[in-house]
Amino acid sequence: MPATPQPLPTPQLWQVQSTPSLRWIGPALNLCTRQQPGIALSIDERPAQALNPAQADFTLRWGAPDTLNSYAVDIGADELVVIVHPDNPLDSLDISKIKAIFTGKSQSWSVFIKGNSGRIQVWTEADGSDVQQVFQSNLLQQPLTNPFAHLAPDPIAMRQSVGSDLTAIGYLPRRWLDSTVHAIQIKGIPAASLRQPVLVMRETGPQGAQKDWLLCLQESIK
């Protein structure tokens, strides 16, 4: 009589919250989870304003929140960049001009590009996103009140919208750049101020396998 197969053990499920801006971290999450036998992840993607470390084993976001009331560890970094269409001839803009564009004070490319009278199509993210918080706090340094700005729901939509419109301008974390958009140099602002940490937040410090998992993430996304 054949032996009765033993049921496979049920994996331990870790709950992970993460913002859309960190979707690129997926391969590292998978790699580090495979190194922890008996562990599986449940990923809950939500905007930064809806994150709640009390509801997850790990909560990931880009840039520090306004208030931080939980344990947090820095596992890497990303840099905010301003993007335009690849055929836009601009290579750089002074920070004051970027602020004028995004606040709606400058609405025509003719101010910046000779012979181009097209209206500037400004793209931004919603106030609840971590990308928007980094942009507003560290680059714009004032509330974004441009009534003509278009809203992109996430970095993929931002990249697609700017990459398909010669008159568009927007912003992204640098890890989202590809050949469909062109990053311009921002003059008059320290580059370090645009480089923000990737944070993992928890109610308490990790131990054992969870600590090993975080160390793996730090090594994987340098």
The answer on 112 and 66 residing in a single domain is: no
* pLDDT of res. 114: 80
pLDDT digits (tens, 9 = 90+) for 98-126: 999 999 999 999 988 887 778 999 999 98
* pLDDT < 50: residue spans in the chain: none
Query: What pLDDT does residue 127 have?
Result: 86
Domain carrying residue 210: 12-77+197-220
What is the number of structural domains in the chain? 2
Query: Are 215 and 162 contained in the same domain?
Result: no
185 shares a domain with 116? yes
**In a domain? residue 5:** no
Residue 44: CATH number of its domain: 3.40.190.10
User: Is residue 92 domain-shared with residue 127, that is, in the same domain?
Assistant: yes
Same domain flag for 157 and 67: no
Say if residue 108 is in the same domain as residue 177. Answer: yes
CA distances from 63 to 44, 92, 179, 204 (A): 18, 24, 25, 19
Q: Are residues 154 and 166 in the same domain?
A: yes
**pLDDT score of 8:** 55
